Amino acid sequence: MSEPLDSGTPRDTLSRRSFLKGAGTVAAAGGVLGHPAHGEAPAAPDQDGPETIEGTVEVELNINGETVQVEVEPRTTLLSALRHRLQPPLTGSKEVCDRGDCGACTVSIDGKPAYSCLQLAVDLKGKEIRTIEGLGTPERMSPVQDAFCEHDASMCGFCTPGFVMATTVCLEKHPDADLDKIKHEISGNLCRCGTYPHIFTAALDARDRMREDR
């Protein structure tokens, strides 16, 4: 992934560190995040502000243009929320490493690529999340998706949604990207079948098609 999500800007949630402090007891700003859905009532706020929530909370997420309420634990990743918590689940984003090595779970958040396995769902209220399911359908594919089909850029297909997302975001940000730029932008994704040369061709073709549509 070429660049992280905004960091250093004030978040509308509290810091990640306080989420991660301790095991079992997780601090969260309940007022911002939502209310506890299960488990214990919120503990009284300590003097420094954050209150403690156990169990699950409801969070409002904007996924592919729809606002959905999802019940998550504070530690639930966006990937897990998509695959396991949403009803119906969105399983196009794949879990391969669950630790930011492979890019198979790539989504876009506010127009930037992100590994959804490294994002906490509770952190994402108010963000525009796009998943592979939001790009196109088998009947109406996006230019990138169609180019992947045209150039045989998918074999087993397990890495494909991540590559399609990364390529899409790359071309949205850099409509005139050359091959080196494309390679740089999608270099956070891994494929084991070895489709890479086909992905490169597909990405360049998609770039040209998207240019024509501009």
Query: Considering beta carbons, is residue 198 or 207 the nearer one to other proteins?
Result: 198
Cα dihedral 154, 155, 156, 160 in deg (nearest 10)? -10
Query: Per rule CB under 8 A, is residue 101 in the interface with other proteins?
Result: yes
Residue 64 beta carbon to other proteins: minimum distance, rounded to whole angstroms: 11
| 154, two tokens | 């998918």
- Binding track over 154-193 against other proteins, x by CB under 8 A: xxxxxxxx--x------------------x--xx-xxxxx
Q: CA–CA distance from 5 to each of 9, 107, 111, 114, 118 (Å)? A: 10, 12, 10, 7, 11
Beta bridge partners of 107: 114
Query: Per rule CB under 8 A, is residue 148 in the interface with other proteins?
Result: yes
Query: Per rule CB under 8 A, is residue 200 in the interface with other proteins?
Result: yes
Query: Per rule CB under 8 A, is residue 58 in the interface with other proteins?
Result: no
> Which of residues 27, 131, 177, 206 is near other proteins by CB under 8 A?
131
Residue 185 beta carbon to other proteins: minimum distance, rounded to whole angstroms: 9
Distance from the Cα of residue 112 to its chain's centroid:
9
Beta bridge partners of 62: 67, 128
Q: CA–CA separation, 51 vs 172, rounded Å?
A: 40
Query: Per rule CB under 8 A, is residue 64 in the interface with other proteins?
Result: no
Query: Considering beta carbons, is residue 140 or 214 the nearer one to other proteins?
Result: 140
Contact 59, 69 (CB under 8 A): yes
For residue 127, which phi and psi values (nearest 5 degrees)?
-90, 150
Q: Which residues bind other proteins (CB under 8 A)?
A: 73, 75-76, 80, 83-84, 88-99, 101-102, 104, 131-133, 135-139, 141, 145-146, 148-150, 152, 154-161, 164, 183, 186-187, 189-198, 200
